[in-house]
Chain A
Amino acid sequence: MQTSLGTPTTSAIVSFLVIVALTLAVTYWAARRTRSTREFYAAGRSINPFQNGLALAGDYMSAASFLGIAGLVALRGYDGMIYATGWLVGWPALMFLIAEPLRNLGKFTFADVVAFRLRQVPVRVAAAFGGILTLLFYVLAQMVGAGNLITLMFGLRYEWAVLIVGAVMLAYVLFGGMIATTWVQIIKAILLLFGVTLLTLLVLSRFHFSPGELYAAVAARYGQAALEPGGLVSDPYDAISLGLALMFGLLGLPHILMRFYTVPDARAARSSVLYATGFIGYFYLIIPIVGFGASALVGREIIRKVDPGGNMAAPLIAELLGGTPFLGFIAAVAFATILAVVAGLTLAGASALSHDIFTHAIRKGHASEHEQIRVARLATVAFGIVAVLLGMLFKGQNVAFMVGLAFAVAASGNFPALLLSIVWARFNTAGAVSSIVTGALMAVVLIVLSPTIWVDLLHHPAAIFPLRNPAIVSMPVGFLTGIVASLITREPEAEARFHDEKLRTYLGIGAE
């Protein structure tokens, strides 16, 4: 098969320019509505549940899940589907455990909730540390992925790709704040769902719209083994550990949690999770069909030749079935996906720096609106520059594990403190700080000692920690540290305030 991948075709450039022009127009519109911190961080709490559901889905459906899972399914068959299910199951857990209390207790960041009745300065600093660590690993993976993908699809130089992503997303966040970031996510989510639906229909049209025939074609070409689990879950402990990180990591991702403050109340927060789960579930149901379709129609040899990681499976099948114009559209959508996700991460990073560190830890809550907005914009530029630099610095490195690391840190550092602060009266400042710091560092240290880094990257003969995914150890460590540290110290004010906090947690009285 001849492919125009890697050459900037007219359709790709036009699709890309249309998307960028549209999102920048939205940013211009949003910029005129972004004056207060409430608007910059939380879109004035004016987003409705359907819109927020789409925006949450947009934040979550990164290029890794679109191109990555399609590629995994294309090259490794069923093993890719295990990832697809794992990515989804965090959403119900988010709903059951924290969505509504999070909305009722917080203002702009998840640190608002953890610090609600505890000593502000230490808790804010610890929560910002856990949050920013998570975001840095996440944004690093996105930036390096962006550079590679755009080079593969448009033939652009890596450095230029990273710079363009950095510049465009900075424009969104800097001028349009959360309003622009939300609408960029919504546009991108609709384009992505539309593009992948079309791709799925095109694939199925070759098999009389019967998934069974598609599986039969895959089995005929690569044997029944393609439809069976391979090496991915040979070790049940590792598989469960990965599942824990994926499920509970979501409950500690700052850019996702931040979205709950864009809706008016807890009831709207609840409905948005249902919409988001619907969109994301639908996406992960159809994306394996694209992957299997690429495997059956394009063939694994060609997919692997274009990119050994399989990331080009979806663009290749798009070109085969819809020609160069459709490939251009899909490539532009993938680009938009990266832009939107990086924008969301940057806004979350900026809010941790400005709202948690500057306003609450440095200024003890006393900073004027004007000053807060200025610092928020400075923090946005700072985080954006760091993101671009990280992208440049890690060029050519294998950073696929970074997303897993971000989820492990979120599940082990941020999530335990967040949940304990909501449900446990005795939880106190010592517990929160030690839980976040220990859980997050534990996840990082265990990943370094695991086969992923110790053997694959540092080339030691054997790993010190046997599992590739640390969450099965580091998440319980996060919880235990928080519980033990709370039990051996006392903070009567925090305990007294827990009682009153309940009216806000469960009834929303006094919620922002």
Chain B
Amino acid sequence: MHRTVLESEEFRRLVAGRWRVSLVLTLLLFVLYYGYIILIATNRQFVSRPVSGATTSRILIATGVIAGAWVLTAAYVVWANRYYDPAVARLRARAEQP
């Protein structure tokens, strides 16, 4: 049964979907982190603006990068638990049929 599962449309879509989600999230991570690095390296004025009191916007941005990285990780887990795992369970059941 392995061969039919491997060649099935559902398996092909599972693998393609998994990498689509992964690459989109990786891209967002890149924008988040390297955007932050480039911003502080090139645009002093913007990041040095005090938001309230002595707290500059860049302190908030650094905090946001850490929080954002965690949110992206959580998003992947939610997606995988909700969509990936059920599809895996279906395909596994089919592959392990005698």
Contacts and interface: CB of A to CB of B under 8 A. Distances in A.
A281 interface: yes
A89 B65 contact: yes
Contact of A216 (B11, B54, B62, B80): B54
A509 B91 CA distance: 10
A8 interface: no
Contact of B22 (A97, A212, A219, A285): A97
Contacts of A499: 6
Interface string A416-441: 00000001000000000000000000
Contact of B96 (A284, A502, A509): A509
Given A92-B72, A240-B37, A500 B2 contact: yes
A206 B3 CA distance: 66
A390 interface: no
A234 B41 contact: yes
A239 B85 CA distance: 38
A82 interface: yes
Contacts of B54: 212, 215-216, 218-220, 224, 227
A369 to B, nearest CB: 28
A220 B53 CA distance: 11
Given A219-B54, A274-B77, A281-B66, A506 B37 contact: no
Interface stretch (A10-18, A140-148, A265-273, A337-345): A265-273
A92 B44 contact: no
A461 interface: no
Contact of B33 (A97, A236, A243): A243
A363 to B, nearest CB: 30
Contacts of B33: 85-86, 89, 243, 247
Contacts of B42: 236
Contacts of A81: 59, 62
A233 B66 contact: no
Nearest to B96: A509
Interface in A94-117: 95-97, 100
A228 B37 contact: no
Nearest to A499: B6
Q: Which of B6, B48, B73 lies at the interface centre, i.e. has the most chain A CB atoms within 10 A of its CB?
A: B73
A122 interface: no
Q: Which of A85, A93, A219, A227 lies at the interface centre, i.e. has the most chain B CB atoms within 10 A of its CB?
A: A85
Contacts of B23: 96
A320 to B, nearest CB: 22
Contacts of A423: 19
Contacts of A84: 62, 66
Contacts of B38: 236, 239-240
Interface of B: 2, 5-6, 11, 14-15, 18-19, 22-23, 25-26, 29, 32-34, 36-38, 40-42, 44, 47-48, 50, 52-56, 58-59, 62-63, 65-67, 69-70, 72-74, 76-77, 80-81, 85, 88, 91-92, 95-96
Given A228-B48, A234-B41, A506-B18, 14 more contacts: A88-B69, A91-B69, A212-B53, A215-B53, A220-B54, A228-B56, A240-B34, A240-B37, A243-B34, A281-B67, A285-B63, A500-B2, A503-B6, A509-B92
10 contacts: A85-B33, A85-B66, A89-B33, A93-B26, A96-B76, A213-B53, A224-B56, A229-B47, A243-B34, A288-B62
